[in-house]
Amino acid sequence: MTDKNSIDKARLENFSDGVIAILITILVMAFKIPEDFLIRDYSIFELLEFLIPQLIPYAVSFLVIAVHLFNHHILFNKMKAVDATFIWLNLFFLFSLSLIVYPTALLGQVHNQETAAMLLVGAYFFKAVTFRLLHHYAIFKSGLYKTDRTKKELRNDTIISWLKGPLVEVIAFFLIFINFKLALGLIFVVTLTYIFPPKKL
């Protein structure tokens, strides 16, 4: 039985899906076309050379957002309902996701890539923190989370989640001073580990 202050989760989940779908669409709309595309002939290799610097940050950000959509659904499936605090934390999380779009487009340009990478990794870090705050409230504070797992197991998973999320972004930020591609590579590889759901939920 849910609390009298709880709210049906379906509308919030549908809204969240819509926002995330729009963000993914905007990511690809940020791709630039060569300024002289209409007045000169390009080979496929020349176009790929122009496209790849934009495609790499797009692919990383797409994966990051897609994985969070996937895990967002897992979280909602475990919720009996939502309350006002959960709704606001969820909106805060969606806000943090929206901040990924702009630095992704900046990094796709050939200038100031280290600075753009710092901005993008900073956005990833902010997103990681907001999602874990939402997750922590849902599991430990809301009283609306359904699970057969023990508190100890859930706390251990939370610790691992903080190590794999925000801590990785901090490490990635310092890797930018060596090579920003190393930072993106680290985030890409760690994000891949979230593709498959955990065996225990």
154 φ, ψ to 5°? -65, -40
Instruction: State mean pLDDT over 45-59.
Output: 91
Is 29 part of any domain?
A: yes
Is 15 part of any domain?
A: yes
Q: Indicate the length of the chain as a whole number.
A: 201
Instruction: State mean pLDDT over 2-16.
Output: 79
Indicate whether 2 pLDDT > 60.
no
Query: Which CATH number is 103's domain given?
Result: 1.20.1410
pLDDT score recorded for residue 4: 53
In this structure, what DSSP letter does residue 197 have?
P
Counting beta carbons within 10 angstroms of the beta carbon of residue 145, is it exposed (0 to 12), middle (13 to 18) or buried (19 or more)?
Answer: middle
Q: Answer yes or no: are the C-beta atoms of 62 and 24 closer than 8 Å.
A: yes
Looking at the 3D structure of the chain, how many domains does it have?
1
Least confident of 5-14, 84-93, 118-127: 5-14
Instruction: State mean pLDDT over 2-31.
Output: 86
Indicate whether 71 pLDDT > 60.
yes
Q: Which range marks the domain in which residue 180 is found?
A: 10-192
* Cα–Cα distance, 142 to 144 (Å, whole number): 5
Is 2 part of any domain?
A: no
The predicted model scores a pTM of: 0.88
N- to C-terminal Cα distance for the chain?
A: 20
Indicate whether 168 pLDDT > 60.
yes
Query: pLDDT tens digits, residue range 103-157?
Result: 999 999 878 999 999 999 999 999 999 999 999 999 988 888 888 888 888 888 8
Instruction: State mean pLDDT over 4-10.
Output: 74
Indicate whether 197 pLDDT > 80.
no
pLDDT score recorded for residue 1: 43
**Mean pLDDT (the chain, rounded):** 89
Is 185 part of any domain?
A: yes
Instruction: State mean pLDDT over 47-72.
Output: 92
Closest CA to 93 of 130, 61, 135, 132: 130
The upper half-sphere exposure of residue 128, i.e. CA atoms within 13 Å in the direction of its Cβ, equals 24
Q: pLDDT exceeding 70 applies to what percent of the chain? A: 95
Instruction: State mean pLDDT over 185-198.
Output: 86
Query: pLDDT tens digits, residue range 20-30?
Result: 999 999 999 88
Closest CA to 117 of 171, 62, 176, 63: 176
Is 201 part of any domain?
A: no
Counting beta carbons within 10 angstroms of the beta carbon of residue 139, is it exposed (0 to 12), middle (13 to 18) or buried (19 or more)?
Answer: buried
* Element at 24 (helix H, strand E): helix 10-29
Is 200 part of any domain?
A: no
Is 162 part of any domain?
A: yes
Whose tokens are 């897609």? That residue is 66
